[in-house]
Structure 1
Amino acid sequence: MQAEVTWPQNLLPHWRDDALLLSQTCGYPLVELLPDVQLVGTFQSSAQGCDGPRYRSWLVARSEDEHLTLSDFRGRRAVCNSNDSHSGFNALRYVIAPLAQDGKFFSETHFSGSHRQSLAALRAGHADIAAIDCITWALLRRNFPDELAGLEIIGETPLCAALPLITSAKTDAATLVILRSALQELTSDPRYQDLLHENLIGGFSVTERAFYDEVKAWKDAAAALGVTAL
């Protein structure tokens, strides 16, 4: 039986599909919305800002604000890709929580639909700051540098567990072993190094669900300071 490769528009049903063999999600949906899927592992990225199977977000603003720090954005406008994103939403909420007053830091927050759209909103002046995962930033810098024109990194979030690779809860144990073995082989085989380099993939780690506990811990830490949204 041959697996079908698809590019789904509606991700949550895709991730929850009993027939799912392999997909990549975000750590925040994993811990909040996907209790039944099995974790296959995590790619290690060679992008600046990553460390093994962990990554961070850059805090990005327009060049005119490059001299500012995060605290200087109190009362200004944020933009993030979606409220189920760790890198764009959960991570940003975590770092502004200690600076918030009465659970509020930004004057307003826009949701763009993607990191690229968040960067476009910054360039257009529709928002003032965003958290952009360092892998997306590195790929855009390499392939679409114009999308970063006029923007600067003014800060960063701590490292956190990177994007998880998942399979259905229905995937049997033997198949899970094969998936992990295939990904280990893929990332170590010299034949694929050019492709891996282009995608900033430097390796593969078998990770367990406990590795993603810190994603929820960031949500809980912000909530303990009275911040549940942006």
Structure 2
Amino acid sequence: MAGNIAFPMYDVNRIATDALAKALQQRFPDAQLQHPADLLAHWQDENLLLSQTCGYPLVTLLTDVQVVGHFHYTAPGCEGGHYRSLIVVRDADKHKTVTDFRGHIAACNSPDSQSGYHALRNYLNHDDTFFRSIVWSGSHRQSLKTVQNGTADLAAIDCVTLALLTRYEPQALSGLSIIDETTLTPGLPLITSRHTSAQTLAALRQALREIAEDKKIAEPLLIGGFSPASRREYDVILTASSGA
């Protein structure tokens, strides 16, 4: 089947990410690999064969896409097909608890990020007055930089991103410590267009299961398995973010 594919969410090591995409292309030779700059437009593409998104955009913005499933990651903080965020501060503050940061500044990658914003907001019981202000950084990597340079004091970072940076870009974590973690949430969903047939959806799930078992492809990305999933599994994200 023709269509576009991308794995934009954990693209810390481009060589490893492209190897994952090429393994999928071997099974779907007409698929086109993309490195999209506009993620929302990419996820909403009618010709989307496969991509990975964040749970919060899935439940709030991507109402028409089909959920294929999610990878299981071996990063510290993951359990099965679920992951969490780790709360990061400067080493000088590693003796503190999160409650000590009331009135301080948080760095968050985006208002529609589950791991960088909503997981932290849920952790704080939706107390939107807890921080003096929020620096919207644009990415987890930039959030770490803002904590390192003192522009912000604390950030919640996706545990898979943190583990990949530890492996491939350890300087991104220089001078930083983890002081706590958020609750588990379903792993980042792999999605396909609403036009993808049931037959192709089944083929995608089989291909991803096989790829996740190929250690040469999976291990550099900390992938330890794959599970099919439905949109219903992600309803907990919307419930938690609403404070219900």
Relative to the length of structure 1, the TM-score reads 0.92
| Distance (Å, rounded) in 2 between the aligned partners of 1:25 and 1:127 | 26
1:213: how far off? 1.1
Structure with larger RCO (C-alpha < 8 A, sep 6+)? 1
The one-letter code sitting in structure 2 at the alignment partner of 1:168 is S
* Offset, 1:194: 2.4
**Residue 228 of structure 1: aligned partner:** none
Aligned to 1:81: 109
Classify the secondary structure of the residue corresponding to 1:4. strand
Q: CA deviation at 1:113?
A: 0.6
1:186 positional shift: 1.2
Give the SS at the match of 2:218.
helix
Matched, 1:211 2:233: yes
Distance in 1, matches of 2:96 and 2:138, equals: 26
Write out per-residue CA displacement over residues 159-211 of structure 1, whole angstroms, 9 at most, x where no aligned residue.
001100000001111110110011111112xxx30221110000000111111
177, 182, 188: which is aligned to 1:163? Answer: 188
2:120 match: 92
Q: Where in structure 2 are there 5+ consecutive unaligned residues? A: 3-29
Q: Distance in 2 between matches of 1:123 and 1:172?
A: 47
For the residues of structure 2 that align with 1:135 and 1:184, how far apart are their CA atoms? 19
Q: Residue 121 of structure 1 corresponds to which residue in structure 2?
A: 146
The residue number in structure 2 matching 1:40 is 68
Aligned residues of 2:72 and 2:227 also touching (Cα < 8 A): yes
Find the aligned partners of 2:119 and 2:63 in 1 and give their Cα distance: 21
Q: Which runs of 4+ in 1 moved over 2 A?
A: none
The sequence identity of aligned pairs, in percent, is 51
- Please point out which of 142, 159, 179 is paired with 2:204: 179
Determine the structure 2 residue equivalent to 1:140: 165
Return the alpha-carbon distance in structure 1 between the equivalents of residues 166 and 105 of structure 2. 24
- Cα distance in 2 for partners of 1:139, 1:171 equals 31
Summarize the alignment of residues 43-82 of structure 1 with structure 2, pairs less than 5 Å apart: 43-82=71-110
Aligned residues: 216
Q: Secondary structure at the match of 2:32?
A: coil
Q: Which 5+ residue runs of structure 1 have no aligned equivalent?
A: 225-230
Q: CA deviation at 1:61?
A: 0.4
Q: 1:23 matched to which residue of 2?
A: 51
Query: 2 CA distance for matches of 1:110 and 1:193?
Result: 38
